[in-house]
Amino acid sequence: MGDKKIQETTEAQIAVHWQEEEYYYPSTKFIGQANLTDPEVFDRFSLDNFPQCYVEFAEMLTWYKYWDEVLDTSDAPCWKWFKGGKLNASYNCIDRHLKDNKNKTAIHFVPELEEERVDHITYQELYVRVNEFAALLRDFAGLKRGDRVTIHMPMSAELPITMLACARLGVIHSVVFGGFSASACADRIIDSNSRVLISMDAYYRSGNLLNHKVNADEAVELAAKEGQVVDKVLVWQRYPGKYSSETPMVDGRDYFVNEVVKDYYGSRIEPEQMLSEDPLFLMYTSGTTGKPKGCQHSTGGYLSYVTAMSKYIQDIHPEDVYWCMADIGWITGHSFIVYGPLALCASTVIYEGVPTYPDAGRSWRIAQELDVNIFHTAPTAIRALRKIGPDEPAKYEYHFKHMTTVGEPIEPEVWKWYESAVGKGEAIIVDTWWQTETGGFLCSTVPGIKPMKPGSAGPGVPGIHPIILDDNGDEVTQPGIAGNICIQNPWPGCFQTIWGDRDRFVDTYFGRYCKNPESKDWRDWPYLAGDAATKSADGYYRILGRIDDVINVSGHRLGTKEIESASLVVEEVAEAAVVPVAHDIKGKEPDLYVSLKPGYEASDEIAQKISDAICEQIGKIAKPRKVWLVPDMPKTRSGKIMRRVLGAISNKGDVGNVMTLANPEVVETIRTMVQG
């Protein structure tokens, strides 16, 4: 069963979806200052002007050498954007701003502990710190252009410094979300063949200083077992000069960055002139099989795209204070905390901890103190903030002009609270639909041009031409009918391939609808996003959810197969099946059904052991709501586990007709067990 398998969008999935809502219009005040207000942008970016239209995005950057060709399709579907062009991402995010803005804050780092002061890092200081760390990476760690480095770090100013230092040298960074386990980190070290791991000793989460360095030791050990040797672990310190972890440093392998970097004080590193099509980073994401996919993003195409999206859709001006609450360890953080805002010379906020720590007013105090005017978060955070502190925003003196929601569909009710309470009726909202693979936005309203519609992402952004296809590859033209949303054209932000697995890349994203695999014409290669969607009569898209085995938990993407494989590692487990259950804050939660091998009795200990195994192998975010130890899985006569039946039971829905199953009687047993 490959990535190609698609499940139908069930009637139920569509039925639970909400009704059409009224438009909300941007204020004249917003339009008066917006970066993009010319509706002709949609003509400029029509398919007739493809791919030439994208030169407008590339020209937002500073190039050492202009490209020879806007789009090279000769290696379809591995598109090469701005081919032959040369640039450096670190130069574009730092050096080019120094002449006029060296004293401006690039990064506001907000520690979780409120008694610790915010650290304001100017562009000049960012320049110095990135150069010195790049010198260390080159001369101490021996890294060079094209090498891969795994970075397992929490939210800190040192994380973008590390990423930008890599970019300066042309080293491909692979950032692993700090909350992921050592084992997940090891998988990524192995897959990317990293021989250097960059970590941090500790960080705060809900008021506790967590030992993070311990993960580095474990990850290195696990990687070594699979033959991938990490010879250097570079450890940043939460409190420079002080070690905040109990885990010993390994002699000859582990080094404190803050000590070693002293040898590089004053160093300046000439940015490497990278080809536009050279990879900038890898970002792993979940798919249909257990093995995460290393999405390979390019330098020129990616940076052009996120810069343009930050300017046009996020409406970032250099004088804005922009706060995106995502974690830098996800694509949202890469594109919309680090690369996009810094390329535009904005001030970007990095918050270490939990948005509701120590209380429900914390986020709004941060907004007030830094005078944040652009705010970016996910429905899961909005739901949590609304639940624990619906009246908190009004107590603080801040004013957003612009707010984003991203990561999962947002319920109109929640959208309206976001608009009126958090936005105080003054901010426009963009609901941006996109993916790790796509680098930047696919659907969203252009905030100064199109009205908002609660619960709907909006039309394709300029240059993106979505289409809804049915299972036969025909376009679904009737409004409100669900199908598979695809993008008809390539775009510069799209990832180039899956690291080391081109076949999986072609198969997963293009296999389903490409009729001629030999074709070099981009028109033959619609991109399959993996979401079901509907299009309304006004051309706005609503995203219904994944059509593959991916669950969206708190806006984080988890593969059901990943969770199932993690539980199968437990000795007693015979079979495992994961289904999504609705949750009022997280959106979805995984529910795990397990049958045991003969000779084992179901017990709380076994259930706990399975749950622990999942947290250990993937991370706490994958922890199941409940581990149900069932006598047997409901199966078809051919032996296929009926996940749909389990999903209906978990969600208290209708299991439908189960009489054709091989073991219909087990359905009632499981239903009683789960629903009581």
546 lies in the binding site for ligand WT7 (CB under 6 A): yes
Q: In sequence order, what DSSP letters do the residues of 114-159 get, joined into one string? A: TTSPPEEEEHHHHHHHHHHHHHHHHHTS---TT-EEEEEE-SSTHH
Q: At how many degrees (to 10) do helices 182-192 and 604-617 cross?
A: 40
Q: Which residue from 552, 554, 560, 617 is in contact with ligand WT7, where contact means CB under 6 A?
A: 552
Q: Which residue from 217, 408, 549, 591 is in contact with ligand WT7, where contact means CB under 6 A?
A: 408
Q: Which residue from 409, 490, 526, 634 is in contact with ligand WT7, where contact means CB under 6 A?
A: 409
Q: In sequence order, what DSSP letters do the residues of 550-612 get, joined into one string? A: EEEETTEEEEHHHHHHHHHTSTTEEEEEEEEEEETTTEEEEEEEEEEPTT----HHHHHHHHH
Residue 367, CA distances (Å) to 87, 107, 243, 376 in order: 34, 14, 31, 12
Q: In sequence order, what DSSP letters do the residues of 441-468 get, joined into one string? A: -SB---TTTS-B-TT--BSBPTT--EEE
Nearer to ligand WT7, 393 or 407 (CB): 407
383 lies in the binding site for ligand WT7 (CB under 6 A): no
Closest approach, Cβ 434 to ligand WT7, in A, equals 4
Nearer to ligand WT7, 113 or 621 (CB): 621
Please choose, out of 180-188, 340-348, 523-531, 603-611, the segment that lies near ligand WT7 by the rule CB under 6 A.
523-531
3 lies in the binding site for ligand WT7 (CB under 6 A): no
**486 CB contacts (<8 Å, ≥6 apart)?**
466, 467, 468, 469, 513, 526, 527, 528, 529
Residue 303, CA distances (Å) to 230, 407, 488 in order: 29, 21, 21
Closest approach, Cβ 555 to ligand WT7, in A, equals 6
Please choose, out of 302-310, 365-373, 419-427, 431-439, the segment that lies near ligand WT7 by the rule CB under 6 A.
431-439
User: How far apart are the C-alpha atoms of 316 and 306, rounded to whole Å?
Assistant: 12
CA neighbor of 545 nearest in space, from 621, 433, 469 = 433
Q: Which residue from 302, 415, 434, 499 is in contact with ligand WT7, where contact means CB under 6 A?
A: 434
Nearer to ligand WT7, 159 or 551 (CB): 551
CA neighbor of 488 nearest in space, from 2, 48, 40, 56 = 48
Amino acid identity, position 120: H
**435 CB contacts (<8 Å, ≥6 apart)?**
285, 331, 442, 529, 530
Nearer to ligand WT7, 300 or 333 (CB): 333
439 lies in the binding site for ligand WT7 (CB under 6 A): no
Q: Which residue from 433, 505, 509, 510 is in contact with ligand WT7, where contact means CB under 6 A?
A: 433
435 lies in the binding site for ligand WT7 (CB under 6 A): yes
Q: At how many degrees (to 10) do helices 560-568 and 604-617 cross?
A: 120
**44 CB contacts (<8 Å, ≥6 apart)?**
53, 56, 462
Are 634 and 645 in contact, with CB atoms under 8 Å apart?
yes
| Residue 134 Rama label (left phi>0; alpha psi -120 to 50; beta) | alpha
What does the block give as tokens for 406? 């991203």
432 lies in the binding site for ligand WT7 (CB under 6 A): yes
162 lies in the binding site for ligand WT7 (CB under 6 A): no
Nearer to ligand WT7, 143 or 381 (CB): 381
Closest approach, Cβ 428 to ligand WT7, in A, equals 15
Closest approach, Cβ 404 to ligand WT7, in A, equals 9
398 lies in the binding site for ligand WT7 (CB under 6 A): no
Please choose, out of 169-177, 252-260, 430-438, 666-674, the segment that lies near ligand WT7 by the rule CB under 6 A.
430-438
Identify the bridge partners of residue 592 per DSSP, sorted by sequence position. 578, 627
Are 464 and 435 in contact, with CB atoms under 8 Å apart?
no
407 lies in the binding site for ligand WT7 (CB under 6 A): yes
Closest approach, Cβ 56 to ligand WT7, in A, equals 23
429 lies in the binding site for ligand WT7 (CB under 6 A): no
Give the contact letters, 554-573, x = binds to ligand WT7 (CB under 6 A), - = no: -x-x----------------
Q: Which residue from 201, 278, 531, 591 is in contact with ligand WT7, where contact means CB under 6 A?
A: 531
Site for ligand WT7 in 440-479 (CB under 6 A): 457
Q: Which residue from 237, 245, 247, 285 is in contact with ligand WT7, where contact means CB under 6 A?
A: 285
Site for ligand WT7 in 328-357 (CB under 6 A): 331-332
Closest approach, Cβ 437 to ligand WT7, in A, equals 7
Q: Where are the alpha helices (DSSP H) in 497-554?
A: 502-510
Residues that bind ligand WT7 (CB under 6 A): 285, 331-332, 406-409, 431-436, 457, 529-531, 543, 545-546, 552, 555, 557
